[in-house]
Amino acid sequence: MTVMSTPSSIAPRILISISDLRFSYGPAGAGVRPILEGFDLEVRESELLSIVGPSGCGKSTLLSIIAGLLRVDAGTVLVDGAERTEPGPDRAMIFQEDAVFPWRTVRANVEYGLQMQGKSRAERHRIADEYLRLVGLVDVWDLFPRQLSGGMRKRVDVARAMAVQPQILLLDEPFAALDVMTKEQLQLDFLGVWAKTQLTAIFVTHDLEEALFLSDRVVVMSRDPARVIRDVAVPFSRPRDRTLRTSQEFQELRGELAEQLRFETGDLEAIEAT
């Protein structure tokens, strides 16, 4: 049978290919249970993938491995077909704690990575302005982080990570410390920036609603060892708005995933802490 393909039906290429990872903290050997074993995951270019799983299952460990911060015992992380074992400018991370320098202004924080890349002053200004606008920050560029609310600082943090134009964004529960209202606004703003930049993003969260609201795909991890036990294509169209959360389809999918986690891990409380 011949399958006619149009540009829109061509599957995006795989950008990140993780296969057969094994990782333990400390020396491997008898009695040491690996955190990750036989772990496989593929991420497509421009995909926004969320990872959920019980607390302590190895989500942060996995992101650190992809970032090149931890060395694996076995297996490979390929980006664009090439193995990655060291940190590089192609991958940027955003953590729960803001990675902003308190002694630098908002603008200087966003320009920091660009300075490291050797960009000219004019170029740094132009790019920082662009990303600060994209995350909805105006009129505060000359302020210092301590003068900002938690939500605004997180926006600076997002602009900082994205301004260096990485190929991949790794987010480790970036909004977990924010209050619900701020968090929901940040999610919307993040979606706006992501849609414009089309970055490939891996978003770790313990919040199923957040995962479903943001992502193209949600994978659920087990623990001891960590594996992908569920891989769900999120069926909701973009752009998304607040009303999606309360829709029946959304809540049904959320309920189904929560049920799966309860069944697979017996630890729903741990992932539903909020």
Ligand X SMILES: Nc1ncnc2c1ncn2[C@@H]1O[C@H](COP(=O)(O)OP(=O)(O)O)[C@@H](O)[C@H]1O
Q: Does 182 bind Mg ion (CB under 5 A)?
A: no
- CB-wise, 57 or 219, nearer to ligand X? 57
Binding span for Mg ion by CB under 5 A among 55-63, 115-123, 127-135, 245-253: 55-63
Q: Does 200 bind ligand X (CB under 6 A)?
A: no
Q: Which of 19, 60, 105, 165 binds Mg ion (CB under 5 A)?
A: 60
Q: Does 227 bind ligand X (CB under 6 A)?
A: no
DSSP line for 60-79: HHHHHHHHTSS--SEEEEEE
Laid out side by side, the sheet with 82-83 consists of 36-44, 14-23, 74-79, 82-83
- Distance of closest approach, residue 206 Cβ to ligand X, in angstroms: 8
- Distance of closest approach, residue 52 Cβ to Mg ion, in angstroms: 11
Binding span for ligand X by CB under 6 A among 48-56, 98-106, 112-120, 143-151: 48-56
Q: Does 187 bind ligand X (CB under 6 A)?
A: no
Task: Determine the Cα–Cα distance for residues 49 and 152; give it in Å rounded to an integer.
Answer: 24
- CB-wise, 60 or 105, nearer to Mg ion? 60
What 185-190 contacts at long range (C-beta under 8 Å, 24+ apart), as own/partner pairs, is 185/151, 186/151, 186/154, 186/155, 186/158, 187/213, 187/214, 188/241, 188/242, 189/135, 189/136, 189/155, 189/158, 190/158, 190/214
Q: Does 225 bind ligand X (CB under 6 A)?
A: no
- CB-wise, 60 or 105, nearer to ligand X? 60
Name which of 131, 196, 183, 141 is nearest 161 in CA terms: 131
Task: Determine the Cα–Cα distance for residues 98 and 81; give it in Å rounded to an integer.
Answer: 31
Task: Determine the Cα–Cα distance for residues 49 and 205; give it in Å rounded to an integer.
Answer: 11
Q: Does 58 bind ligand X (CB under 6 A)?
A: yes
Binding span for ligand X by CB under 6 A among 57-65, 102-110, 127-135, 250-258: 57-65
Q: Does 96 bind Mg ion (CB under 5 A)?
A: no
Interaction site with ligand X (CB under 6 A): 25, 35, 53, 55-61
